[in-house]
Structure 1
Amino acid sequence: MAPRERKKATPATAPAPATAPVPSARHGALSEVRIHGLGAIDDVTLDLNPGLTVVTGETGAGKTMVVTGLTLLFGGRADPGRVRAQGRAGVEGRLVLPPDSPVWARAAEAGAEADEDGSLILARTVSAEGRSRAYLGGRSVPVGVVAEIAEDLLAVHGQTDQLRLTRPAEQRRALDRYAGPAHLELVEAHRAAHARWRQLAEDLERRRTQTRELAQTAEVLRRGLEEIAAVAPQPDEDTALDAQATRLGDADALRGAADEARLALVGDTTGDLGGGEDLPQDATTALAAAQRALAASGDPALVALAERLGDVGAVVADVGVELAGYVADLDADPARLAEVLDRRAAITTLVRTYADHGAGVGGVLAWAEDATDRLSQLDVSDEALEALTASRDAARAELRELSERVSAGRTAAAEGFAADVGRELAGLAMKTARVSFAVTTDLESPGPEGADEVALLLAAHPGAPARPVHKGASGGELSRVMLAIEVVFAGADPVPVMVFDEVDAGVGGQAAGEIGRRLARLAGEHQVVVVTHLAQVAAFADTHLVVDKAPDSGAGVTATDIRAVAGEDRVRELARMLSGLSDSDTGQAHARELLAVAGQPQ
């Protein structure tokens, strides 16, 4: 069967050349996403450009499936109810990342490799039974690995996806980023100081509560170190003793072998056998006779061989001298043999007691080194506990001083941050909303990030009490608060890809245009994908994708098609969004006016 042809949403404008600067891809960007078998989507490929991409279409056409697909691709929860009838859904994406992106290091740890063009390929599949698999750089990986990478790549902001904003820890991190690099360095110093203090405090508590057990352990270690020190083994001494014991134990046999070989090579040079006996001819005598005979022949070839025999004779003589030295040095003293055997037995006992199997003396020495280190941590004497208490108190004092400085930095930054977010909200149909930070400090119970609990509060209208933002805002308001924060952090947030799902819900008129303007500003530093139903927002897009319902001629069911629009096609789509009639002259005139306004310098 022929492969199914994939529908492709061709970009309305050509992508920037590879050599051209791409502002929104500074930290990375998605260049292509393929979605198949997900919800109403049969099989489409989206070519995503840097900048602002908007996704529009009729209600129920499947716009949300684009967001669902991106969320699934980056480790989101797999919902088998979204899988089409064929039984398997999948999303594939191509990431373009700078060489210094931290994502590359994590991907390499997972065994992923870059594609031929230097991009990183992600993929995710979900079956109708709920089974899910993730792939990174051609390797199957746990979904958790992709989700971990997504923390540095993607932020999804929608009606029900405001998780980052609702977490107090994330609100504290946002405030720290706003306070600036010097403050972030202070927070890092606090984190290190907290780790030191906790380690000292836990060590002191352990020594105090486990005095008896630690003392017993320390005594065992001391006894072992004393036994080892009494023997004082040297590296590789066991091997040397084995060789020495063998030589001492077999001295007579070794002497006989060496003497026999020496006599065969050079004869009796000691006179021990007497001069009157007939001795067999030795090798040096035979070689000398052969050399004289050849040298006397006068033939050049034989003379050359005589010279070579002279060299051989010299080697044989040297070996004879060395054998004589070996015999002279050979010690057959039984007392020395007993001494060596006793030393070897003592070392063998140490090896059996303190070394792993086969480790020898090296294992004993390693145990002694480790025991010395452990013993320094098990000292429960009054002097040791007093010294450790002093170290803990000094670390606590340092931590408190850092906590106070971190808290002061957050308190100072909170007012400015809230004011900046409030100014952004004023242009997002939330003019009367008031944003503030509640910084609660408990210097007696600091955590790694400081002694502060930070809460982002929102008073949605005059007279309303300031409440935690996820409790005091509706879904649309929460999305706009998130948008306002992202705009404030446009140049600082390292997340390269941001997705907003209908952040303009419940907004219209001038406020809608302001949302589009702010999203366009955000897209100067990030790749931004927005699902919207407002023409005022869509007019600011660099790439405009339209989701259409299209009959599936094969199965007779509704399917989704995604196409990129530009020129007059885009004007007609904006007119449809404005008036519900794509061919309305009034609607088209208004659409051209929106495009003209959006095209003006920001």
Structure 2
Amino acid sequence: MLTLLSIQDVVLIEKLDLVFHPGFTALTGETGAGKSILLDSLGLVLGDRATSGVIRAGASEARITASFDLPEGHPTFDILSEQDIPVEAGEPLILRRVITSDGRSRAWVNDQSVAVTLLRRLGGLLSEIQGQHAQIGLMEAGTHRDLLDVSGGLTGQREAVASAYGLWKAAEAALHTARQNMAELGREEEWLRHAADELGQLAPQADEEALLAQQRHVLQGNERRGEAVAAALSDLLPRDRRSTGPSQAIRSASRALQRLVPPAGEPEQSDPMQAVTGEALAALDAAGLALAEAEELLSRLVVECEADPRLLEQTEERLFALRTAARKYNTTVDGLAELLEQYRERLSLIETGSFRLEELEQHLLETRSAYIQEAERLSAARKLAGARLEKSVVSEFRPLHLEKARFFVSLEPLPEESWNAGGTDQCVFLLAANPGQPPGPIGKVASGGELSRLLLALRLVLAGASPVQTLIFDEIDAGVGGATAAAIGERLHRLAGSIQVMAVTHSPQVAAAADHHLHIGKMTSGGATRTTAALLSSEARLEEIARMLAGDTVTEEARAAARRLLNHQG
């Protein structure tokens, strides 16, 4: 509900801060005091079109702020969530709008800048203004079906239709996608078969690239080691019989030095070189032994490091073939196996696609039939609910001076292309305002106070069916008085038991039925006229209703009559 309306520099309003309460609030005041300006200001903050003409003379811009308290689960929270505007249940929703002198405007929701279109979306869920020149909400035929369903207790059946509709449309989308896929697969079937055959012959395996690269690295290392060992061994061994290797050279040197050693049995001569010769022979013997050991070790290494050149060649051919295929098919080597599986699956779809399409087509027929059955049940329930709604609304007409009017709930089938989650029919509220007049949309066959009274009757019957929390009537009592005005006041008060109601009124009977009374006035100071507003106390309210009864001169008789009206309502 609306809790606060702050208006600054709008036409005659310099600054007003109005606090509103639950229940029924009457707004009264002399003609021209600014009641319509107040309602226009509320309309602006709810998204109405704005021009620079609304700015008070001498001001650079107009500012309007409205604060609303919302019940938990109100649809406004869904819209705010879509827009990433955080609002917790129990916290106020604050709308703000600024209109500048160039006709432009800016809007905020809880201090977050938004488009004016968002204000309009929110406004349609927060408040409705029913008046002489502007009616929204119930005037919009697009809301009538939803209102009928909620008021008729058809929410469960409506949800069943929505669920069936979702399944039907999902089946429709699945069939459409399958047909598109089949057409695409048909165009690329030849290429798919070639690619699948080529990759199938290659037979790529998962993680094969890493294994082949590791094997190649090992084989290349073995080859390099084998070459190094063979080279070392070739340096130790003679290349041919005419060549002298290190072993042979050591043996020859040893034999040559042996000649310097005296034969066994001969007495040793005192020769200082004899000792050196012995050491040399010992060194040559040790070198021979070490060389022989080195030859043996190198020979063993040659055997152990002997590489298989064919295996390395095969490994490299396989690795290069996989990498070439990966480049060709724009994937990685590790992705080739998965790609092959995808190609085979797509080929399988081509082969089995016709059967799959038949299944999807049958499923589509079944879901469509199920939706139609649910929609027909809902349509039948709507006809019964519509008849009850007609009777209930018409029962409110006589006290509201609409006894000649007739109200109809029209249900018409929609063309199939317009079927939706709400069903296969549309609902429009029609009115025949006078006998002999054909029924038509309520906004085209009634006007002014007559239309406002009709909408009041509808609201009484549809209480709770709309998410709107604040309902405002502008001069709903126009052209009526006496018992009719009293009936209007009583019904506004009754309606305020379930929704916040405000009414701009010139009727003392209507004003006396209110829970709260707001007086709109104007004052002139310094050559400028300004609108004022005040919530009336009990005594001030008595005086205002007496003025409404008597005119400019308030008499004791008028006060007594005002007191009787207030006491009667109490």
2:152 is the counterpart of 1:175: no
Question: Compared with structure 1, are the counterparts of its residues 390 and 564 closer, same or farther at alpha carbon in structure 2 (3 Å cutoff)?
Answer: same
Structure 1 position 42, deviation (Å): 1.1
User: Which of 557, 560, 564 is the aligned partner of 1:586?
Assistant: 557
Q: Which residue of 2 aligns with 1:103?
A: 76
**8 Å CA contact 1:218, 1:379 repeated in 2:** no
Q: Which residue of 1 aligns with 2:486?
A: 513
What SS does the aligned partner of 2:3 have? strand
User: Any residues of structure 2 matched to 1:78-93 within 5 Å, and which?
Assistant: 78-85=50-57, 86-93=59-66
2:498 is the counterpart of 1:529: no
Structure 1 runs not aligned, ≥5 long: 1-28, 257-274, 278-328
Question: Compared with structure 1, are the counterparts of its residues 583 and 385 closer, same or farther at alpha carbon in structure 2 (3 Å cutoff)?
Answer: same
User: Which of 403, 423, 426 is the aligned partner of 2:395?
Assistant: 423
What SS does the aligned partner of 1:107 have? helix
Q: Which residue of 2 aligns with 1:575?
A: 546
Q: Which residue of 2 aligns with 1:479?
A: 452
Q: Which residue of 2 aligns with 1:452?
A: 425
**8 Å CA contact 2:407, 2:430 repeated in 1:** yes
**8 Å CA contact 2:410, 2:427 repeated in 1:** yes
User: Any residues of structure 2 matched to 1:316-465 within 5 Å, and which?
Assistant: 341-342=316-317, 344-345=319-320, 348=323, 352=327, 361=334, 365=338, 382-441=354-413, 447-448=419-420, 449-465=422-438
Q: Please tell me the residue identity of whatever aligns with 1:142.
A: A
Q: Please tell me the residue identity of whatever aligns with 1:416.
A: R
Q: Which residue of 1 aligns with 2:98?
A: 125
**8 Å CA contact 1:211, 1:380 repeated in 2:** no
Q: Please tell me the residue identity of whatever aligns with 2:168.
A: W
What SS does the aligned partner of 1:440 have? strand
Structure 1 position 365, deviation (Å): 4.9
RMSD, matched Cα: 3.9
* Deviation readout 1:16-71 (Å, 9 max, x if unpaired): xxxxxxxxxxxxx2221101111211111001111122221111111112221222
User: Which of 562, 566, 574 is the aligned partner of 2:533?
Assistant: 562
Question: Compared with structure 1, are the counterparts of its residues 240 and 61 closer, same or farther at alpha carbon in structure 2 (3 Å cutoff)?
Answer: farther
What SS does the aligned partner of 1:427 have? helix
What SS does the aligned partner of 2:397 have? helix
**8 Å CA contact 1:575, 1:582 repeated in 2:** no
What SS does the aligned partner of 1:151 have? helix
**8 Å CA contact 1:215, 1:379 repeated in 2:** no
User: Which of 35, 53, 56 is the aligned partner of 2:7?
Assistant: 35
2:565 is the counterpart of 1:597: no
Cα distance in 2 for partners of 1:342, 1:216 equals 34
What SS does the aligned partner of 1:400 have? helix
What SS does the aligned partner of 2:502 have? strand
What SS does the aligned partner of 2:465 have? coil
Question: Compared with structure 1, are the counterparts of its residues 89 and 380 closer, same or farther at alpha carbon in structure 2 (3 Å cutoff)?
Answer: farther
**8 Å CA contact 1:113, 1:120 repeated in 2:** no
Cα distance in 2 for partners of 1:34, 1:363 equals 68
**8 Å CA contact 1:582, 1:588 repeated in 2:** no
Question: Compared with structure 1, are the counterparts of its residues 389 and 524 closer, same or farther at alpha carbon in structure 2 (3 Å cutoff)?
Answer: same
2:45 is the counterpart of 1:73: yes
User: Which of 48, 56, 60 is the aligned partner of 2:20?
Assistant: 48
**8 Å CA contact 2:27, 2:502 repeated in 1:** yes
Q: Please tell me the residue identity of whatever aligns with 2:394.
A: G
Structure 1 position 390, deviation (Å): 2.0
Question: Compared with structure 1, are the counterparts of its residues 401 and 110 closer, same or farther at alpha carbon in structure 2 (3 Å cutoff)?
Answer: closer
Cα distance in 2 for partners of 1:149, 1:583 equals 44
* Deviation readout 1:409-466 (Å, 9 max, x if unpaired): 1111111001111112222111222111122235866611222232222121333332
Cα distance in 1 for partners of 2:369, 2:489 equals 50
TM-score (norm 1): 0.72
Q: Of the two, which has the highest radius of gyration?
A: 2
Cα distance in 2 for partners of 1:98, 1:366 equals 55
**8 Å CA contact 1:35, 1:90 repeated in 2:** yes
Q: Which residue of 2 aligns with 1:469?
A: 442
Question: Compared with structure 1, are the counterparts of its residues 494 and 333 closer, same or farther at alpha carbon in structure 2 (3 Å cutoff)?
Answer: farther
**8 Å CA contact 1:111, 1:139 repeated in 2:** no
Cα distance in 2 for partners of 1:115, 1:389 equals 46
